Amino acid sequence: MVALHYEWYLTSAVFLGLFWLQHQIMFTAHDGGHTAITHNFVIDSLIAIFIADFCCGLSMGWWKSSHNVHHLVTNQPEHDPDIQNVPLFATCPSFFKSIRSTYYNGFVFVWDAAADFLVPYQKYTYYPVMGIARFNLYLLSWLHVLSRKSRDLSNSPGAAWIRPTEITFMACYWFLFGYCLLWRALPTWTIRVAFVLVSHIITMPLHVQITLSHWGMSTAELGESESFPQRQLRTTMDVDCPAWLDFIHGGLQFQAVHHLFPRLPRHNLRKAQVHVREFCRQTGIPYAILSFADGNKKVLGRLDEVGEQVAHLLACQKHMAETGESGLA
């Protein structure tokens, strides 16, 4: 507000982006969504909705609807909405077959010319897209609160207040951000566009952290013989960091532990990690824990691997179209 008062518009945009990025804000909403603050559904939901919907313009109802499924069927291409990002990204070859999403009511993520063009370059577009990912979350949030699914969820016992509260809070956010700030406080369209871009691109590290724990991990379906701990530890990676950096990671460095104990308060995750390590040592279940840099390399390596597979398939198709040969002896 001080920077805005002195007409330091882009400086103000940076601080607004840092506010959105602030993990003690956003991940308090995450904790509330998991009922991990007071363990009271109404109180934790109110905390989460105030932060997510009113302060950030994002629907907590949408997030919970998506995130609960993600926890149950982590990294399953047909079921987990967190990895259904075709044509921008594909984290495994299963997407080449145009998968039908159970989360999106049978919507088919068609593998088309756009995917052929974009996925081979996904290791280069990963960070730029993470810089503008927040715009997609706005869209998904409004699509959710206005959807029939949201209306049906409002009929659940004790949940009738959630949808109107979300719509009210999100409308307040856009009144304050869209009208009062962008339209009334900023003088020109150039500054408005720059303000929006700067404030949103600043949040890129948050979106990288959100995807880091899963995008480089296994997407195989091993069936009912695989136990819950085995599946969560196979599809989820933790980030190794000293305790003094926990504030920066906001709990996302313990995603594998969090997936095993979703309602465990964030401040207990480091303590629980000790027991998870011992459990994995005793059972022989692999436990992936990498540094933040190595985790990024793992994600980029997976994106590169899948992108190269697409490039090879396209090269084969081109060869067959030009020569009429399959290339097989």
Runs of H (alpha helix) within the chain? 2-5, 9-21, 23-33, 41-49, 60-72, 113-118, 122-131, 133-145, 148-153, 162-174, 189-201, 204-212, 228-235, 246-249, 255-260, 269-283, 292-323
Contact of 90 with 119, CB cutoff 8 Å: yes
Contact of 102 with 287, CB cutoff 8 Å: no
- Provide the residue ranges of all domains of the chain, joining segments of one domain with +: 2-306
Q: What is the pTM of this model?
A: 0.89
Residue 238, helix vs strand vs coil: strand
121 Ramachandran zone, left/alpha/beta (phi>0; psi -120 to 50): alpha
Provide CB contacts within 8 A for 265, sequence distance 6+.
31, 36, 37
Tokens linked to 267: 């401040």
* Start-to-end C-alpha separation, the chain: 70
CA distance 266 to 27: 9
Identity of residue 65: S
Place of tokens 């198709």: 317
DSSP, residue by residue, 87-110: TT--SSGGGGG-PBPTTTTT-B--
pLDDT, position 153: 82
CA distance 129 to 230: 31
Identity of residue 206: L
DSSP, residue by residue, 169-226: HHHHHHIIIIIIIIIII--SHHHHHHHHHHHHHTTHHHHHHHHHTTTTS------TTS
pLDDT, position 10: 74
Identity of residue 71: H
Residue 290, helix vs strand vs coil: strand
Tens-binned pLDDT, residue by residue, of the chain (329 aa): 666 655 667 777 777 777 655 556 888 899 999 999 999 999 999 999 999 999 999 999 999 999 999 999 999 999 999 999 999 999 999 999 999 999 999 999 999 999 999 999 999 999 999 999 999 999 999 999 999 988 888 888 888 899 999 999 999 999 999 999 889 888 999 999 999 999 899 889 889 999 999 999 999 999 888 999 999 999 999 999 999 988 888 888 999 999 999 999 999 999 999 999 999 999 999 999 999 999 999 999 999 999 999 999 999 888 888 887 765 55
pLDDT, position 145: 95
Question: Is the Cα dihedral 238, 250, 212, 102 positive or negative?
Answer: positive
Provide CB contacts within 8 A for 50, sequence distance 6+.
169
